Structure 1
Amino acid sequence: MFSLTALLLCPTVAALSWDILHPGADPDHGKDMLQIVRDKKYPIEEHHIETEDGYVLTIFRIPHGLGSNQVGAPVLVQHALLCSSFDWVNNPANESLAFVLADAGFDVWLGNNRGGPWGRSHTSRETDSEEFWDFTIDHMALFDLPAHVDYVLRATGQPSLSYIGHSEGTIQAFAGFSRNSTLSSKVNLFVAFAPMAYAHHQTSLVFGALAYLDVSQLFEMFGMHEFLPQGGVLNKVAPGICGPLGALCANSIELFCGKSHDLNATRMPIYLAQTPAGTSVKNMAHWAQLIKHDRFGMWDFGSKEDNMKHYGEEGPPGYKLSDLTVPTALYTGGLDILSNPRDVQKLIYELPTTTLIHHKVIDSYAHLDFSWGQDAARLLYPDVIAQLKAYRGDDFQV
């Protein structure tokens, strides 16, 4: 049988022969997100929000850029699966989306989903309990996303915000916005990097292996706990091996996301010191269900009886993209093996024609390039900023 555990942990084998105490002279090495932002002289605030079901999440705010103290229109940015808000500050300032948006005059809010390094608290559940890790994409869509949006609007006093999501940050938005019209009314633009709703045609080795296994096998292998948490063995050995063994690190990333031609190899130790950032095994199992069964819907409890108990119907309800009303801009990559063009076309077909207002294809882009790409300031960000300025709404209050 294909050994998924060995596949995920293969970088650790080579780490034994390298001195992990001397990873290089990059000024960002060993720093967390707050330190990186402050070292670049940008203002940053740390806020804590509580979801309706009791998870306590940290959201970061960069209220303005270096050239002005004026606070602009709010933009909420949400990370991908196994990532965190660190993704948006992990490159030099002129290549990181958070800094670029702040310097362009936006009030930047960087969200974090439950289960990651900034979402490991709960009002009543212990982090090491099975109850804490009993969540899927549905919970991020129905609880985390509304909590983020409502908090930002209360804090800023604005009637609406713009939302940027990457990968899982898009699937939770497609799900949440399509089911919650009140939430949708608070968002003036949805920017989707590497949009995910359907994923049946993805060709990632890791996600393919997950989809091959039954859900019961995943729980048997990993338990009802966390999956690849930040601070695990991969994060600890990566800074030491990615300098001398850069190709090995790149190959490990390719197992998840495919080959990229736009990543800055010299910063690989910085990226992998913070990524993967963790999620729940059950969330990974939900992804496996969606891939295997080619559907965009809620968690399948595995039997007609259990689904009936939870949903009042024999199968898990689907998310209806036809109900999406938020103006949506898609950004897709020609080399993206996760947000596969066939699945993107299915997504586009189901969106209302009045909802899809923009679609830009970057032929050279793979999945991670939307958050880690060193040429994003040239290939991606100018177009995104133009869309944000055009659709931020007449209700913005200066």
Structure 2
Amino acid sequence: MSTRMGWTHLLSVLSFTLAGVADGLSEQRGKTKFPRTFGESAIRRIIEDNGYGYENYTVTTDDGNLLNLNRIVHPNRTGSDRGYPLLLVNGILVQSETWLVQPKLDHNLGFVFADNGYDVWLGDQRGSMRSKGHVNRTIDKSKLWDFSYHESGIYDLPAFIDFILDKTSHKDLIYTCMSLGCTFHTVLGSKRPSYNQKVRAAVYIVPVVNNVRRIEQLTIPVYMLYKLIPILMPILEEAGMIEWFPNMENLKKLLYLACRAVGPVPYWLLMRLLFGSGFHIQYPNVCDAVVSLGGGNPKTTSHIHQVFHKGDLAEYNFGREENMKRYGTEQPPLYDMSKITSPIAFYYSDVDSFTDSEGLQRTIKSLGGSSYTCELPNFHHLDVAVGTTARFVLPDMIDLLNSISGKSNDTEKFKSGKCPSMEWIRHLQ
């Protein structure tokens, strides 16, 4: 990609930043207002306190789980047609607030998408704070928490998608995800391929997919955790521990108060230790970002561990004997990527601790549909949520969404296959 094209894209970013976004709330608006509540109502408070309307729905999955689904209502679009629907789903241990915790309003993907004319829905997958219920109130807790990212893919996403399409009368939507939320979609497209028709395109941001380098790119603390997981899991199972951080609200309060008391430096250093020395965390925003924590379970963690151990996305490994009963093979089957026909855009970085570009390219080659790639220099795993670099990617994402949804006349954006060079970002960090 030529230097001229790179600088042309930089000028478009500067224009985007100076002009703001395109629908009603377009002026530069300053800081995001964060609530001082950390319970289930925090998402409502963040959305409403920053000038948007909020709607909340309970969605029932095919296996009876009750999931929370949030909707951002733009003040200029309160009628029946609120724009083309976007479903945003995050990764492990966090919840919908993750899309809204940048310190500046115009850097938050959830708000920026709404400002640009999209009907933004935020889904809380099973196991997060607001999605722990079941239609059977007497269900055994161990059964309720017996899930991994596989169940989120085959049950949670279909429930979200069907509800949104029914509510909006649209025939399809755009799915946007970060981290493990992208793995959910990979599972959905391969195991329930009929949903490819309901997802016009998916936008993967720092996805967890096939991983070739696997262990060598992990930071030392994460590597140590990786080595401990096979030892810890049987112990946790024996002890009956089925959920990480059952009282997440109190934990978040404690983390916030501790952060305010000692300052954000220790947390900032911890994040850099976990995600790499180049992690561009928003230093003033560390304390507020704890509102995005949502919870999870050991089995999902174990399933992620299996991805790094083998390097391939496969169904859950229960051990040879149980695998034979469930799958008819000693090893769990790989997800068949060729069944995923929805177009997918990949925003990724080779310094991401959880996905390497070689594994991502292998994933792309195995897909049954078209792809668009955008490599982000020095972009770390949590940068999209709390990093300083996310804002530089927003113009390309908006252009891409407009091209896919038909909001713009540029229908060739996705077909071009890749974004303009983002190498110039390196010089702005």
* 2:301 counterpart letter in structure 1: M
| One-letter amino acid of the structure 1 residue matched with residue 96 of structure 2 | S
Alignment TM-score, normalising by the size of structure 2: 0.79
Alignment of 1:9-158 (within 5 A): 27-31=33-37, 32-63=42-73, 65-69=74-78, 71-91=82-102, 92-124=104-136, 129-158=141-170
The Cα shift of 1:261 comes to 4.2
Match of 1:267 among 272, 285, 291: 285
Inter-CA distance 213–263: structure 2 relative to 1 (3 Å threshold):
closer
**Structure 1 counterpart of 2:398, from 385, 392, 396:** 385
| Runs of 4 or more consecutive aligned structure 1 residues displaced over 6 Å after TM superposition | none
Q: Which amino acid aligns with 1:319?
A: Y
How far does the alpha carbon of each residue in 1:348-373 deviate from its partner, in whole angstroms, 9 at most, with x for none? 33234x521x1111103110012223
Look up the equivalent residue of 1:226 and give its one-letter code: E
Other-structure match for 1:184: 196
Unpaired stretches in structure 2, ≥5 consecutive residues? 1-30, 408-429
SS in 2 for 1:33: helix
What does residue 11 of structure 1 align with?
none
Q: Please report how far the alpha carbon of residue 292 of structure 1 lies from its aligned counterpart in structure 2 after TM superposition.
A: 1.1
Q: 1:367 aligns with which of 381, 385, 396?
A: 381
- Range 219-228 or range 166-175, more displaced: 219-228
Secondary structure (helix, strand or coil) at the match of 1:107 reads strand
Q: Report the AA paired with residue 45 of structure 1.
A: E
What is the CA distance between 1:258 and its match in structure 2? 3.3
CA 1:204/1:146 → structure 2, altered by over 3 Å: closer, same or farther? farther
Alpha-carbon displacement from aligned partner over 1:246-292 (angstroms, at most 9, x marks no partner): 221023334543345432211111112442x2111111111111111
Deviation at 1:388, TM superposition (A): 1.2
Matched residue SS, 2:210: coil
Aligned residue-pair number: 364
Mapped contact 1:55–1:121 kept (Cα < 8 A):
yes
Structure 1 unmatched runs, 5+: 1-24
Q: Which residue of 2 aligns with 1:14?
A: none
Residue in structure 2 matched with residue 290 of structure 1 by the alignment: 307
Q: Which of the residues 174, 196, 208 maps onto 2:208?
A: 196
1:211 equivalent to 2:226? Answer yes
Q: Decide whether aligned partners of structure 1 residues 116 and 161 sit closer, same or farther in structure 2, where only a CA change above 3 A counts.
A: same
* Alignment-derived partner of residue 257 in structure 2: 240
Q: Is the 8 A contact 1:231 1:274 kept in 2?
A: no
Task: Please report the RMSD computed on the Cα atoms of aligned residues, expressed in angstroms.
Answer: 2.4
1:339 counterpart = 2:355: yes
Structure 1 residue 49: deviation in Å?
0.2
One-letter amino acid of the structure 2 residue matched with residue 366 of structure 1? H
Partner of residue 269, structure 2: 251
Q: Is this contact kept in 1: 2:96–2:292, CA < 8 A?
A: no
Shift of residue 214, structure 1, vs aligned partner = 5.8
1:301 to 2:318 alignment: yes
1:168 and 2:177 equivalent?
Answer: no
The residue aligned with 1:3 is none
CA drift of 1:234 comes to 4.7
> What secondary structure sits across from 2:346 in the alignment?
strand
Amino acid at match of 2:337: L
Q: How much does 1:239 deviate?
A: 1.5
In structure 1, the residue corresponding to 2:286 is in which secondary structure?
helix
Q: TM-score, normalised by structure 1?
A: 0.84
Task: Report the residue type matching 1:51 in the other structure.
Answer: T
Q: Percent identity?
A: 27
Contact 1:44 1:60 in 2 (8 A): yes
